[in-house]
Amino acid sequence: MIDLRSDTVTRPSPGMRAAMASAAVGDDVYGEDPTVRALEERTARLLGHEAGLFCASGSLCNLLGVALLVPPGAELLCDAQAHVARAEMGAHAALHGVSVRTWRGDSGVTTTGDIAGMLQPDAGPFLVSTAAVALENTHNFGGGTVQPLAHLEEVSALCRDAGVALHLDGARLWNAHVATGAPIETFGHLFDTVTVSFSKGLGAPVGSVLVASAERIARARVLRKRLGGGWRQAGILAAAALHALDHNVARLADDHAAARAFAGAVAERAPGAIGDVPTNIVVIDTGAKAARDVAAAAAARGVAVSALGEHVLRAVTHLDVTASQCAEAGVVVGELLGAPA
């Protein structure tokens, strides 16, 4: 099976497993795991923030990051297709009383003017007040879209001027960094809280880090423990993330090329099915065909892709597939889409 359902399906390499096996560890709830601390400090430094908190998932980092910025009963603004709105099981509302209001972007990107028109930091006694905005870079359901840096800078300035906080879901910020060549820190300093993941394109088995000010991270540590997310000898997992930082960032360019190879093979056989392919995620329009049927037929031919909507498929390239496998998978999907209904 050529598995293109997600970049989360990778298995740790022998080198990564060796790093995990030899990691120095301690009890992280006591703050005594040296490998966890090294990862938190390194990630915070990379993003230009004071402190970091290693968590089991990107969802947990987003949950904590947003809770630091939005008090119960206030609102978070984000894209309608944002992971925080669509794929975190309503946790922000269910657990922290956060109200979410969304804009409808184009492949996950909107204009600064649209966000400005929605900000209501002081909404008075009848409407919900805006406490924070969340952006996603790259944008998963938007198709691996890279947010233009100028837009991020404008939104950051807008929010700072309005007294509204700004969170970045940067689960795949590494991909944006490689696609644009902009240093990671260039993105980091524009936001109050940032999530980055190691378990997606970077190939670690588990883990994300939330970065923010030291005061905010101290509060996040309490919130994480409250949610049952305190962990002990997590250095075994942090070692995998550190190994990923050392070895797997620059090579994301290969995943981007493999995504283009996949998309090219689909487009040759099914013109119009594919839009832009800025990073490692390809969104495929199945036209009149049901995405679920196409995904099932592709699986029967050895290619796994995700049905994300009635007529939308998603393919994601990663460490464990080669460019030629991706091109081969693109032929299969393209043939299925190009065949008469």
Q: Tell me the three-class secondary structure of 91-139, residue by residue.
A: HHHHHHCCEEEEECCECCECCHHHHHHHCCCCCCCCCCCEEEEEEECCE
**By CB under 6 A, residue 59 contacts ligand PLP:** yes
Residue number, 193 or 208, with CB nearest to ligand PLP? 208
Residue reference for tokens 């693109």: 330
The residue (of 6 and 111) whose beta carbon lies closer to ligand PLP is 6
- 59 vs 156 by CB, closer to ligand PLP: 59
Chain center to CA of 21: 27
Which amino acid is located at 6 in the chain? S
Question: Minimum distance from CB of 52 to ligand PLP (Å)?
Answer: 16
Give min distance, CB of 266 to ligand PLP, in A.
22
Q: How far is the CB of 35 from ligand PLP (least distance, A)?
A: 19
Q: Answer whether 329's CB lies under 8 Å from 2's CB.
A: yes
Provide the minimum distance between the beta carbon of 58 and ligand PLP in the complex, in angstroms, as a whole number: 3
* Site pattern 118..147 for ligand PLP (x: CB under 6 A): ------------------x---x-------
Q: Which of residues 166-205 bind ligand PLP (CB under 6 A)?
A: 169, 171, 197, 199
50 Cβ contact list (under 8 Å, min separation 6): 44, 212, 213, 214, 217
Q: How far apart are CA 223 and CA 60, in angstroms?
A: 10
Name 193's bridge partners: 167
Strand partners, 101: 77
On whether the CB atoms of residues 79 and 142 are closer than 8 A, the answer is yes
Q: Which stretch binds ligand PLP (CB under 6 A): 20-28, 52-60, 95-103, 254-262?
A: 52-60
CB of 208 vs ligand PLP, minimal distance in Å: 6
Q: Is 83 in the site for ligand PLP (CB under 6 A)?
A: yes
Token pair, residue 72, equals: 């119960």
Distance CA 86, CA 82 (A): 6
Size of the site for ligand PLP (CB under 6 A): 12
Which residues contribute to the site for ligand PLP (CB under 6 A)?
57-59, 62, 83, 136, 140, 169, 171, 197, 199, 208
